[in-house]
């Protein structure tokens, strides 16, 4: 008996396998709205792949969006180096691509796992789609190694979904349109705003009750996050010194969910653990983080995602880095680069805590990264891409 291939039947729905790779929690936050949108595209057989990094935090984010990974590579090992991550992701993704024969591999942002997954696809000539393409600090060392990773992914990708027009200009500057006939670049906004608005809408008001910290309603909440490799060592020491000075004011309380990386956790706990106005807490889930941002008076961060999210909530942001690949938020006046200099951090925070007029000018809801429809735009782009690819195959037969 001859078995018929359903895809060879006239009028049958053509389906293309697509692998979407998620490594860290920030990637999950921004990719899960895209996952939900792609689940509704009939031409796509989506497989969500996790590398196994940030396992506990990943599980929390997946639960928020009612999703589960289809494939877990379980690559997380204690003390792994960037080289370890690159080699293991590259090897495992190579095998996965051979097994599933995808028509597209999708990655997000600038992590080493995203770069290695893209490289695995590139080596076997499978098209790559890059969510959040075109971000640049224009300093290869800052953030490190993220700036290299995103440049590398963009050089390999065929579909580039840029969050802003500035990101498009960065891509075009690196490869002018007249020399770039194979790539599709599209401004979609940032899918992180999709995730933020989804979660903020569902907050019920008691999300902070589950956080093990006694907040004083009479004091202004300063929310801090910090984890960048470029600040390991002296940078984190200076950040800690600045936070101690801010805590001495008496009218502010600092909440710092401490990243699990030992090079962050050890320094922060040693330097800040005995300061009464500073609350060091374990990493919080994404819903709790959004609730903390909403409750905050000001946010101090080196996180890229929070530089996008806090402005959408109307919260002033002090960026504890020397450069940023997100200049759009700085241009609005809501975000300010303060570096890791003690005096710079303290002076900027003091103005926001002490000068109501200055605070009101900075505490405005702005949306330089989109209106919450990025995931739908990306899904539509993927649908058009797989249809075009399938039509080309049909014509070649």
Residue 72 carries which DSSP code? E
Q: Return the residue matching tokens 């093990």.
A: 212
Report the alpha-carbon distance of residue 156 to residue 396 in Å, rounded. 25
Q: What is the pLDDT of residue 54?
A: 65
200-362 maps to CATH 3.30.360.10: no
Report the alpha-carbon distance of residue 131 to residue 125 in Å, rounded. 19
Q: Return the residue matching tokens 């599209």.
A: 186
Q: Could you tell me if residue 54 is left (phi over 0), alpha (psi between -120 and 50 degrees) or otherwise beta?
A: left
Domain pair 13-189+373-396 / 200-362, same fold: yes
> What architecture (CATH level 2) is domain 13-189+373-396?
3-Layer(aba) Sandwich (3.40)
Q: Return the residue matching tokens 């990025």.
A: 374
Report the alpha-carbon distance of residue 255 to residue 364 in Å, rounded. 22
Crossing angle of helices 55-64 and 25-38, in 10° steps, is 30
Partners of 128 in the beta sheet?
105
CB 38 within 8 A of CB 384: no
Any idea which residues carry the catalytic annotation? Answer: 110, 132, 146, 227, 229, 259
11 CB contacts (<8 Å, ≥6 apart)?
A: none
Task: Answer whether the bond into residue 157 is a cis peptide, omega within 30°.
Answer: no
Q: Return the residue matching tokens 């506990």.
A: 56
Q: What is the pLDDT of residue 317?
A: 97
Report the alpha-carbon distance of residue 125 to residue 381 in Å, rounded. 20
Q: Digits of tens for pLDDT over the chain (397 positions)? A: 334 344 443 445 689 999 999 999 889 999 999 999 999 999 999 999 999 866 777 888 999 899 999 999 988 787 889 999 999 999 999 999 999 999 999 999 999 999 999 999 999 999 999 999 999 999 999 889 999 999 999 999 999 999 999 999 999 999 887 767 789 999 999 999 999 999 999 888 777 777 878 888 899 999 999 876 666 667 788 998 999 999 999 999 999 998 767 767 778 888 888 888 999 998 888 999 999 999 999 999 988 899 999 999 999 999 999 999 999 999 999 999 999 999 999 999 999 999 999 999 999 999 999 999 999 999 999 999 999 988 887 777 7
Residue 93's closest CA among 32, 52, 152? 52
Domain coordinates of the chain in residue numbers? Answer: 13-189+373-396, 200-362
Q: What is the pLDDT of residue 231?
A: 60
Report the alpha-carbon distance of residue 55 to residue 4 in Å, rounded. 42
Tokens for 231? 């600040």
Angle at 362 between CA 279 and CA 133, to 5 degrees: 85
pTM of the model: 0.86
Q: What is the pLDDT of residue 227?
A: 72
The torsion of the CA quartet 300, 301, 307, 312, rounded to 10 degrees, works out to -40
């Amino acid at each position: 008996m001859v078995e018929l291939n359903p895809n060879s039947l006239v009028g049958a729905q053509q389906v293309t396998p697509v692998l979407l790779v998620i490594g860290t929690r920030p990637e999950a936050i921004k990719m899960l709205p895209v996952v939900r949108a792609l689940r509704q595209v009939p031409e796509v057989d989506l497989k969500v792949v996790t590398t196994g990094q940030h396992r506990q935090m990943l599980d929390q984010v997946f639960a928020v969006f009612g999703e589960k990974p289809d494939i877990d590579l379980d690559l997380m090992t204690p003390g792994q180096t960037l080289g370890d991550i690159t080699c293991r992701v590259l090897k495992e993704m190579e095998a996965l691509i051979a097994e599933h024969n995808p028509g597209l591999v999708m990655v997000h942002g600038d992590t080493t796992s995203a770069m290695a997954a893209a490289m695995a696809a590139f080596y076997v000539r499978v098209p790559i789609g890059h969510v959040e393409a075109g971000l640049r600090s224009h300093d290869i060392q800052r953030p490190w190694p993220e700036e290299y990773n995103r440049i590398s992914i963009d050089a390999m990708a065929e579909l580039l979904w840029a969050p802003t027009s500035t990101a498009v200009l960065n891509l075009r500057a690196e490869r002018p349109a007249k020399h770039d006939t194979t790539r599709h670049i599209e401004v979609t906004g940032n899918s992180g705003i999709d995730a933020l608005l989804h979660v903020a809408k569902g907050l019920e008001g008691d999300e902070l009750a589950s956080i093990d910290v006694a907040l004083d309603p009479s004091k202004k909440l300063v929310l801090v996050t910090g984890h960048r490799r470029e600040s390991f060592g002296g940078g984190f020491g200076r950040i800690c010194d600045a936070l101690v000075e801010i805590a001495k004011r008496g009218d502010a309380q600092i909440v710092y969910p401490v990243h699990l990386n030992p090079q962050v956790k050890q320094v922060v706990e040693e330097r800040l653990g005995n300061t009464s106005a500073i609350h060091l807490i374990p990493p919080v889930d994404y819903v709790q983080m959004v609730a903390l941002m909403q409750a905050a008076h000001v946010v101090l961060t080196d996180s890229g995602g929070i530089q996008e999210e806090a402005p959408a909530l109307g919260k002033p942001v002090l960026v504890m880095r020397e450069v940023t690949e997100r200049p759009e938020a700085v241009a609005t006046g809501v975000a300010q680069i303060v570096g890791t200099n003690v005096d710079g951090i303290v002076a900027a925070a003091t103005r926001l805590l002490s000068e109501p007029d200055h605070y009101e000018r900075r505490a405005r809801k702005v949306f330089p990264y989109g209106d919450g429809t990025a995931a739908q735009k990306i899904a539509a782009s993927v649908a058009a891409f797989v249809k075009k690819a399938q039509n080309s195959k049909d014509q070649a037969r």
